[in-house]
Amino acid sequence: MKQKIQSMREAIEAKLSSVATTAELREIRSVYLSRTGEIPALMKQLGSLPKEERPEAGKYINEFKNWATERIEECEATLAAKELAERYEREAVDITMPAESRPMGALHPVTLVRDELVRIFSGMGFVVYDGREIEDDYHNFTALNQPEDHPARDKQDTFYVTDDILLRTHTSPGQIHMLETTKPPFKAVMPGRVFRCDDDATHAPMFHQLEGLVIDKGLSLCDLHGLLDTLAKAMFSSDTKTRFRPSYFPFTEPSVEVDVSCMECGGKGCRLCKGTGWIEILGGGVVNRRVIENCGLDPDEWTGLAFGVGMERIAMLKYGLNNIHLFYDGDVRILSQFH
Amino acid sequence: MYLPLSWLRELVELDGIELKTIEDGLFSCGLEVEEKAPVAPDISGVYVGRVKSIERHPDSDHMFVCIVDCGERGSDIQIVTGAQNVHAGDIVPAALDGAHVYGRRKGDDSRAPEVATIKNGKLRGIASNGMLCSGEELGIDDNWYEGASVNGIMMLPKDAPLGADVKTVLGLDDEVWDISVTANLPHCQHVYGVARELAALLDRPLHTPDLSYTPVSGRDAGISIRVDAPDLCPRYIGHYVYDVEIKKSPELIRRRLHMCGINAINTIVDITNYVLVEMGQPMHAFDLNNVTDHSIIVRRAEQDEKIVTLDEREFTLSPENLVICDAARPVALAGIMGGLNSEITDNTTEVLFEAAKFVRGNIRRTSRSLGQSSDSSHRFEKGVDAYTTGIAMQRALHLIEEFGCGKVGEAHIDVYAEADRKQPCIATTFRAINDVLGIEVPTETITAILSRMNYTLNIDGDSITATPPAYREDIEGSAADLAEDVIKMYGYDHIFPRFMVNASITAGGHNRVQMNTAAFKNCLCAQGFFETINYSFYSTVELDLLRLAEDAPERDAVRILNPLSEKYAIMRTTLVPSLLNVLSTNSKRGNENVRVYEIANIFMPQGNSLPIEKKRFCFALYGKGESFFTAKGVLEELASKFGLSLSYERTTRPFLHPGATAAVKCGKTEVGFFGQLSYEIAGDLDIAQSVFVGELDFDALLDLFSTKLTYAPVSPYRDIHRDLAVVAPESMTCGEIEAVVRSACKSVSEVRLFDIYRGGQVPEGHKSMAFALTFTPEDKELMPEDADKFMAKILKSLEYRLGLKIRS
């Protein structure tokens, strides 16, 4: 028996020393250790030994079985480690190969500007009002204190549908709708499409504005400055400066044009700001009391601030688009740049 | 408007004030200097010289050698000249070494001549240390300086100081600023107006132009003036001038007109133009000999009445147009241009001067509709105040006297409909003015500013009553008017950013619809879609492209009365053509995979009422791997995001593939359609690949969106999966089979077709369809035996209801 075990031990050693795969090893384990394997078979042979030899032989076989199990497991661990190492090596990828993905689309740059403006103003308590695009003369002009003979009412500048119905020329009619339907105090921004009879290198017949309106008590020009200063800093950078200069809109008085320090040169003067250090971005003012009156509110009780910004203009300044017509081109090579 | 600085300085004392201060001051008044153009930017280094001696050049039969005394620039400068008009003792412009002058213009080349640099040198062996200049070389002609157009060297005034810069002597050191004036400041649209504003801003003395004149009695022309349309002509002043001498205006006048881009013509015409630029009042002069019966009638034109204007253009008029007529016929298109029949000629001896206020809207409309305009009409369009109409006439009559070109008659007729119009008086408080501004401008400062701006003030404690000067017609009558004027003068830099300290707290942000719209767009973005924005108008050609029937609802569009062109003549009734054009653009530019969409309004006419505006969502795509089913997948992703359950029904559209078009339904509501674009239209658009397009009613979708998120318990047990293969006739749809499978077993949670096979053992006219079924247990673990039972039930049902057999 001892001899048998000794030769089996040697055979196992020999096999283990040349084993190359875990599959071969499984085979070895099965040959010797499975229920029907050779080592359990030795156990079965115990019965044929003289009774007094059995305990020692049993112990011996057990030791042998433990040894074999240990050796095989040891070998198994080594092999597994080796195979894993090989697998890792085999599976090493060329990390410079192209990615596989479903590319994302993108929002339109005007939507990006709209969303950013809305986000800024939402934080200041502004609701968002989506107004009509086709308006009547009253909301687009008359209620906004636009004089009867104001040039903007010309067929030359405004698209008319009938004598009284027109494509809105600005988002300002939204002011009237808000005033007509909302109990003050309130704050609202009104983004949307506007239309003017203009189509050349720097004008498109359709573009986007965002109107802002605050109706409350005791508002002043300084409050407007604060509001627009916050806007400019959030929109461009925290060191952006704003300045007011006089302007004219029939629906505000005083009216101002708002310039921001040039985002390109920081105010030193460059090509973008034509050497002035300032860039015009929007117009605004203190709401004309006639507008408030027109909407049935008492202008001695309620005051207002209003402003309007051209969203393509902001997008051009922010993203460096240099031609307004690119916004309506639809080429995905343009659109895909605005993630 | 053009503003020559020398003219401005004549009207307002600006000595010792830097140009930068003036520019900034104008800026803060709302008068932005857009361009600063020196009169002679290219000329330099030319000085006044006296020709001390002149001799023939020894080696030339046409050149002369001059010794020129240029005072401190050199008293014995030798200069060779080829000019034949120079004599000893002449005072001439001498360009010395390094000077810049204009080269000779070649032929009738109308481009600006090149600038030449003068250098010391030799001409045929004789040293020449400069050049004597002609008017042309200095860029001027007789209109600037009498004698400048002479062929040869230009002669300077005898008293010009030797060595002085000729630019100073000739007024070439002047500068013209181009100023943009906001629409509410017509009273600043002229040199006097700007001077008045600057005088107030800088607190400097203002020199009002001389308005004095003395009528000379002796002749009465029997002039009558009648205004039949006072609504269009609130004030009309006529004044008689006789013994008129038509001649050249003084040099200063011609120079100033030139600087303002106006050609000098003769005294009478120049006076009207001069007053226009100086006082902002357009004027006209009629040759009275050609004014029938010496009577003027201001009236609306009769239908089809005709007039030939000064520039010999004939116009057919309507009652929309205002005309100035004599007893027989129109003699001027009011405010726009005089008639050829009464123009000033060299033979004119008697003149009727007109200064009038015509309302701006009418002038503008007439000018635009006839396509005729002038400096006068441009000015009227901006607004002229009736007060200035009066003083402008005085100014013109003064200039007649000053130029000695006629006698100012006594006949002065002033038809002034609003003669007793009073300026609105603003009664308010200093508090109210400062409340608009949000700062504390001291009471004295406000008072001083308003006084300088010619308001008549009445102050009592905090109360202030202010009457604006007569030339201000922009004042509406509130504290805001005063606040605006005060802050212009006080300076906008005093306004500081303050964050709405008194304002109420309000809740802001998107409403539900706006939030859903943003989420919808993001969901499309995640699926590789690019948002596009397209014009809201297009042409009927776009509807033709879609092969829409003559009576298709899309053909009933809102039409623009005055479109830019037929291309943009109707408002969109469907977004499909816009998106197809986007695809076409991309395809032509070689972009291979394109997914685009737009969410925008379409418009439906409502007779004379406002059109209905409805939001549509339109998507379109082509590219590798795209199919009807990837397009359908787009909708399914959106549906799952917004809790919608969509169903599809076969339908047709004239522009879509007849076998690949689906109506999209949500419950019982049809919300839109999608499908493959017909090959004919894809061909029209030059797109070789299959195109898929769909349009949905976005308003309806928004109503159906459910964004309420509720937790549904998850089964603790595993799903069981089984495959099912059936052989079905070609006509049977996947949907029919799926419906039967689902109704046969309520544990089926998913039925997914994963393969279709035709041919082989599958009989002709049939297809083999393989489905992956998922069974989801509810309250107990599913055993394989349970799934077997389910499958048996399903098979039985398929056989019973659809006659289908299992593929073995």
Q: Give the minimum alpha-carbon distance from A220 to chain B in angstroms, rounded to a whole number.
A: 5
Cβ separation B503–A115 shorter than 8 A: no
Q: How far is B511 from chain A (nearest CA, A)?
A: 7
Of A185, A217, A226, the CB nearest to B499: A226
Q: Name the residue facing A286 among B436, B568, B611 (closest C-beta).
A: B436
Portion 574-603 of B in contact with A at CB < 8 A = 581-582, 585-586, 589, 591, 594-596, 600-601, 603
CB neighbour class for A130 (10 Å; exposed up to 12, middle 13-18, buried from 19): middle
Q: What residues does CATH 3.30.56.10 cover in chain B?
A: 426-494
Distance CA A241, CA B497 (A): 10
* B808 has pLDDT over 60: no
Give chain A's radius of gyration (CA, Å): 42
The structural architecture, per CATH, of the domain B720-806 is: 2-Layer Sandwich (3.30)
Q: How confident is the model at residue A2 (pLDDT cuts 50, 70, 90)?
A: confident
Q: Which residues of B touch A122 (CB under 8 A)?
A: 508-510
Helix ranges (H only) for chain A are: 2-18, 22-33, 38-45, 54-90, 109-123, 137-140, 173-181, 221-235, 289-294, 311-319, 332-335
pLDDT tens-place string over residues B31-69: 999 999 999 889 999 999 999 999 999 988 899 999 999
Measured between alpha carbons, how far is B96 from B117 in angstroms, rounded to an integer?
10
Q: Which residue of B has its CA nearest to A276?
A: B34
Question: Looking at residue B111, what is its pLDDT?
Answer: 64
Residues of B in Cβ contact (< 8 Å) with A183: none
How far does B32 lie from chain A, in Å, by closest CA? 10
CATH 3.30.930.10, applies to A109-335: yes
Give the best residue of B373, B525, B531, B567 to mutate against chain A (max A CB count within 10 A): B531
**Confidence band of B417 (pLDDT split at 50, 70, 90):** confident
Phi, psi angle pair for B670, to nearest 5°: -85, 120
Question: Does the CB of A122 have a partner CB in chain B at under 8 Å?
Answer: yes
Look at residue B660 in the predicted model and tell me its pLDDT: 96
CATH 2.40.50.140 maps onto chain B at 44-169
Chain A residues close to B511, C-beta within 8 Å: 127-128
Residues 157-186 of chain A whose Cβ lies under 8 A from any Cβ of chain B: 159-162, 164-165, 167, 185-186
**Bigger pLDDT: B518 vs B111:** B518
Q: What is the pLDDT of residue A38?
A: 87
Interface check B518 vs A, CB under 8 A: yes
* pLDDT tens digits along A268-316: 888 888 888 999 999 999 999 999 999 999 999 999 999 999 999 999 9
Measured between alpha carbons, how far is B1 from A327 in angstroms, rounded to an integer?
34
Asked if B507 has any chain A CB less than 8 Å from its own CB, the reply is yes
Q: Please answer yes or no on whether A125 and B508 come within 8 Å at the CB atom.
A: yes
Cα distances (angstroms) measured from residue B633 to each of B523, B644, B742: 12, 13, 21
Interface of A with B in 275-334 (CB under 8 A): 286, 288-290, 327-333
Give percent above pLDDT 70 in chain A. 99
- pLDDT attached to residue B223: 92
| Cα gap B226→B296, rounded to integer Å | 6
Asked if the bond preceding A254 is cis, omega within 30° of 0, the reply is yes
Determine contact: A44 vs chain B, CB below 8 A: no
CB of B317 within 8 Å of any CB in chain A? no
At a CB cut-off of 8 Å and minimum separation 6, what does A230 contact?
Answer: A120, A124, B497, B499
B421 falls in which pLDDT band (50, 70, 90)? confident
Decide if pLDDT at B98 tops 60: yes
pLDDT confidence bin for B109, thresholds 50/70/90: low
Give yes or no for a contact between A171 and A210, defined as CB atoms under 8 angstroms apart. Answer: yes
Quote the pLDDT of residue A172. 96
Q: How confident is the model at residue B761 (pLDDT cuts 50, 70, 90)?
A: confident
What pLDDT is attached to residue B343?
92
Largest pairwise CA distance in chain B: 132
> Is a pLDDT exceeding 80 seen at residue B171?
yes
B183 contacts A246? CB cut-off 8 A: no
Instruction: Read off the pLDDT band of A117 (50, 70, 90).
Output: very high
Work out the average pLDDT over B396-422: 90
Amino acid at B437: L
What are the residue boundaries of the structural domains of chain A, listed by start? Answer: 2-90, 109-335
- CA–CA separation, B625 vs B647, rounded Å? 23
Please tell me which of the candidates B439, B496, B533 has its beta carbon nearest to residue A110: B533
CB contact under 8 A, B480 and A286: yes
The string of pLDDT tens digits covering residues B281-319 is: 999 999 999 999 999 999 999 999 999 999 999 999 999
CB contact under 8 A, B564 and A205: yes
Residue among B24, B26, B34, B86 nearest B55 (CA):
B86
* Confidence at B465, pLDDT banded by 50, 70, 90: very high
CATH code at B44-169: 2.40.50.140
* Residue B211 to chain A, least CA–CA distance (Å): 32
Contact (CB<8Å) A253/B484 = yes
Residues of A in contact with B498 (CB under 8 A): 220, 222-223, 225-226
Alpha-carbon gap: A253 to the closest alpha carbon of chain B (Å): 6
DSSP B567-579: GG-EE-S-SHHHH
Judge: domain B426-494, CATH 3.90.1300.10: no
On chain A, the residues whose CB falls within 8 A of the CB of B427 are none
Least Cα separation, residue B585 to chain A (angstroms): 7
Please, which pLDDT band fits residue B142 given cuts at 50, 70 and 90? confident
Q: Which tens digit of pLDDT belongs to each residue from A46-69?
A: 888 888 888 888 888 888 889 989
Instruction: Locate B679 and state its tokens.
Output: 């090959």
**Pick from A160, A162, A187: CB nearest B608:** A162
Instruction: State residue A50's pLDDT score.
Output: 86
Which value, in Å, is the radius of gyration of the alpha carbons in chain B? Answer: 42
Best of A110, A163, A208, A245 to substitute, by most chain B Cβ atoms within 10 angstroms, is: A245
Q: At what angle do helices A2-18 and A54-90 cross, to 10 degrees?
A: 0
B362/chain A closest Cα distance in angstroms: 8
Query: Is the CB of A91 inside 8 Å of chain B's CB atoms?
Result: no
Decide if B531 touches A, using CB distance below 8 A: yes
Check B585 against A124: CB less than 8 A apart.
no
Counting one residue from chain A and one from chain B, the pairs whose CB atoms sit within 8 A come to 256
Confidence grade of residue A160 (pLDDT, cut at 50, 70, 90): very high
Chain A residues near residue B181 by CB distance under 8 angstroms: none
**Residue B589 CB: number of other CB atoms within 10 A?**
11
Give the burial string for A9-39 (b: 16+ CB within 10 Å, else e). Answer: eeebeebbeebeeeeebeebbeebeeeebeb
pLDDT confidence bin for A151, thresholds 50/70/90: low
Q: How far is the alpha carbon of B615 from chain A, nearest alpha carbon, in Å?
A: 11
C-beta atoms of A161 and B503 within 8 A: no
Helix (H) or strand (E) holding B788: helix B784-802
CB-based contact, B435 to chain A, within 8 Å: yes
What is the 3-state secondary structure of B11-50? HECCCCCCHHHHHHHHHHCCEEEEEEEECCCCCEEEEEEE
pLDDT band at A152 (very low <50, low <70, confident <90, very high): low
Q: Quote the pLDDT of residue B423.
A: 85
Residue of A nearest to B491 (CA): A245
A11/chain B closest Cα distance in angstroms: 47
How many angstroms away from the CA of B449 is the closest CA of chain A?
Answer: 16
pLDDT band, very low/low/confident/very high, at B481 (cuts 50, 70, 90): very high
Please judge whether A155 and B561 are an interchain contact, meaning their C-beta atoms are less than 8 angstroms apart: yes
| pTM confidence score | 0.85
Q: How far is A300 from chain B (nearest CA, A)?
A: 10
Residue B614 has pLDDT above 90, yes or no: yes
B437 chain-A contacts, CB cut-off 8 A = 220-222
Res. B105: pLDDT tops 70: no
Q: Is B536 within 8 Å of A206 when comparing Cβ atoms?
A: yes
Whether the per-residue pLDDT at A23 is higher than 90: the answer is no
pLDDT of amino acid A155: 67
Q: Please report the pLDDT score of residue B471 as a whole number.
A: 93
Query: Under CATH, what is the fold of the domain B224-416?
Result: Phenylalanyl-tRNA Synthetase; Chain B, domain 3 (3.50.40)
Distance from CA of A276 to the nearest CA of B (A): 11
- Chain A contact present for B332, CB below 8 A: no
**Cβ contact (<8 Å) for B30 and A247?**
yes
Helices (H), B609-678: 628-641
For residue A154, what pLDDT band results from cuts at 50, 70 and 90? low
Instruction: Tell me whether residues B500 and A115 touch, CB distance under 8 A.
Output: no
Q: B-chain residues within 8 Å CB-CB of A199?
A: 564
Question: What would be the CATH architecture of the domain defined by B512-704?
Answer: 2-Layer Sandwich (3.30)
Q: Using pLDDT thresholds of 50, 70 and 90, give the confidence band for residue A109.
A: very high
Tokens found for residue B166? 């000729």
